[in-house]
Amino acid sequence: MNLHRYGRLLVAAVALVVAAACSSPATEAPATQATGAEKLKIALSNSFIGNQWRVEMENVFKAACAMPPYVDQVDCSVYNAGNDVSTQSRQISNLISQGVDGIVINAASTSGLNGVVQQACDRGIVVVSFDNTVDAACGLTVNTDQVKFGQQLAQFLVDQLKGQGKVIMVTGVAGTGADNDRNKGAKEVFAANPGIEVVATYSGMWDSATAQRATSGQLPSLPEIDGVWVSGGTDGVIKAFSAAKRPMPVFAGEAENGFRKYMAGILTPKVNGMSIGQPPFLSVIALELARGVIKNEHPKQSVTIPFPVVTSETLVPGETVFPDLPDSFFADFTDSGPNATVILCQEAATDGTPCPGKTLDVNFGQR
């Protein structure tokens, strides 16, 4: 028994000796790091990587880091926290220890990182949060206006239907800020147009399969529908209309590649619609804001970017709709048009590889 206890002590002692032995050669490390010291160190701290949107968001970040001007100016790193606040908090503390210049955050909790973000700010680190942003007053944010999302899609329906018709609303995940804001924006516009009658409102949970099931269940009890407003899962709603052999109404929905395939006529039936989405390239905008603020090229101000918008008329295969990518892909990983916020290629979103021969130009926009 005693031997066993000594054995345990021995294990501890060996572990410590190993620790000491390994740490001595490591002290030479700063010499090698010093050569790349002129590059800025910017890290992406992401709360979790459990869905298509987050994967694209990280991929375009990695791609941007491998493209000029970032490839010459910035050393990027990426961390995921498994949607756990204390893990993300530890990671940000470690980034502070590493002495990074900027931290770009998609937060696990809007309030849970306040303490550590404040500590980062106190040490002169530029903190930019996006999508699910951080409350801490010292941090900058990059985001879109979700109320406008609802308004813009609803206004499109009103214009297409010339102010007269029956519409349905397919909402998102209840209790989230984005869902509340999107619904609020849409209801404002519909309420201001008395010719528009909202005949049904139900949740599609921002998921194509759920939206399809819910719509199939609702359709038999509904009159002829002229317009559909969808917060997410648009291609599922279209499939439900198609399966029920209903005439195709006007669709206003998210940026799923599947929805855009229907809009472009790549999938049949072709539908008339408008597609807007929360762009995965928010991570790239946040990277650019962090870089610009550190280099004193941008004022230290938060940024609200316009949504990437396409309609059935403006869709271009290969630019805003991608015939060879799956339906669930978010086709708004790149903006389009002359005033585009940022233009990225397909490889950037699918593999995180740089777009060949391209210099990234981020336009914070005066639109």
Partner 1 sequence: MREFMARLRLVPAQAGLGYVVLVATAAAYLVVYTSSLGRFPTSFDYLSILNTMLPLVFVAIGQSLVVLTGGIDLSVGGIVSLCVTVTATTVTGTGLAPFGWLLVVLALGAACGAVNGMIVAVGRIAPILATLATLSIFTGLALWVLPVPGGSIPPVVRNVLSNPNVPTGLIWLGVAVGGWLVLRRTRFGMRVYAIGSDETSARAVGVPAGRVKLGVYALSGLCSALAAIFYVSTTTAGDANAGAPFILTSIASVVVGGVAFTGGRGSALGAVAGAVALTLVIDVLFFAGIDPLYQSLFQGLFLVVAVLLGTAATFLTRRRRATP
Where does this chain bind partner 1 (CB under 8 A)?
1, 4, 8, 11-12, 15-16, 18-19, 22-23, 26-30, 33, 46, 49, 78-80, 82-87, 89-91, 93-94, 96-98, 109-116, 118-119, 135, 175, 177
Q: Output 120 or 286, the one with its CB closest to partner 1.
A: 120
Which residue, 52, 311, 259, 278, is CA-closest to 181? Answer: 278
How far, in Å, are 127, 193, 256, 288 from residue 154 at the CA level? 35, 10, 18, 32
φ, ψ of residue 364 to 5 degrees: the values are: -65, -20
Shortest gap between Cβ of 113 and partner 1 (angstroms)? 7
**How far, in Å, CA of 224 to CA of 352, rounded?**
44
Query: Closer to partner 1 at the Cβ: 58 or 332?
Result: 58
Helix, strand or coil, per DSSP, at residue 355: coil
CB of 20 to partner 1, least distance (A): 8
Residue 51 vs 86, nearer CB to partner 1 = 86
* CB nearer to partner 1: pick between 23 and 296: 23
Nearest approach, Cβ of residue 359 and partner 1 (Å): 27
Q: Considering only CA atoms, which of 173, 210, 310, 333 is closest in space to residue 253?
A: 310
How far apart CA 126 and CA 109 sit, in angstroms, is 19
Nearest to 180 by CA among 146, 136, 148: 146
- Minimum distance from CB of 72 to partner 1 (Å)? 22
- Whether 261 and 331 have beta carbons less than 8 Å apart is answered as no
Minimum Å distance from CB 203 to partner 1?
A: 18
Task: List, in sequence order, every residue forming a beta bridge with 169; answer none if it has no partner.
Answer: 201, 229
Q: Supply the minimum distance, in Å, between the C-beta of residue 66 and partner 1.
A: 16
Nearest distance in Å: CB 91, partner 1: 6
Cβ 284 to partner 1 shortest distance, Å: 18
Quote the distance between the C-alpha of residue 319 and its chain's center. 18
Nearer CB in complex with partner 1: 27/221: 27
Nearest to 46 by CA among 131, 117, 126, 114: 131
For partner 1, the closer CB: 46 or 183: 46
Nearer to partner 1, 112 or 249 (CB): 112
Q: Which is nearer to partner 1, 86 or 304 (CB)?
A: 86
| Ramachandran area for residue 173 (φ above 0: left; ψ -120 to 50: alpha; else beta) | beta
108 CB-near residues (< 8 Å, 6+ apart): 47, 48, 81, 83, 84, 85, 87, 88, 132
